[in-house]
Amino acid sequence: MDPGLGFGKSREGNMELVRRLAEFRSLGCPILIGASRKSFTGPATGGATQERLSASLAVAAIAIVNGASVLRVHDVREAVEAALMADAVKAAGARDGNRGSTDA
């Protein structure tokens, strides 16, 4: 299921969609997110279209933590690294009951 980031939505609407992505899990199907280089990521960083890698990766990582299982991206290697890190953070949260770690 692709909620369609960027298609007829305001910047705030896209941000809310990413933030509330977990609510789509009740549909029982994989959630796809395509945030790569989308215009809604520009204002937060001030980057032009080709300079939105960090913003795109941040949205991808947040989407994974919030339930996305498929990413549509332009920068594959970087997105894989961000996805692996997001999965690691998500798994660590599951292990400690989402309480937050007390490790120093």
- From the candidates 20, 25, 72, 77, give the one annotated as an active-site residue: 72
- Please check whether residue 52 is in contact with residue 26, taking contact to mean a CB–CB distance below 8 angstroms: no
Q: Examine the residue annotation and report whether 72 is marked as an active-site residue of this protein.
A: yes
What amino acid is encoded at 29 in this protein? C
Check 37, 38, 52, 95 and give the catalytic one: 38
For residue 20, indicate whether it is catalytic.
no
65: CB partners within 8 A, 6+ apart: 86, 89, 90
As annotated, the active-site residues are: 38, 72
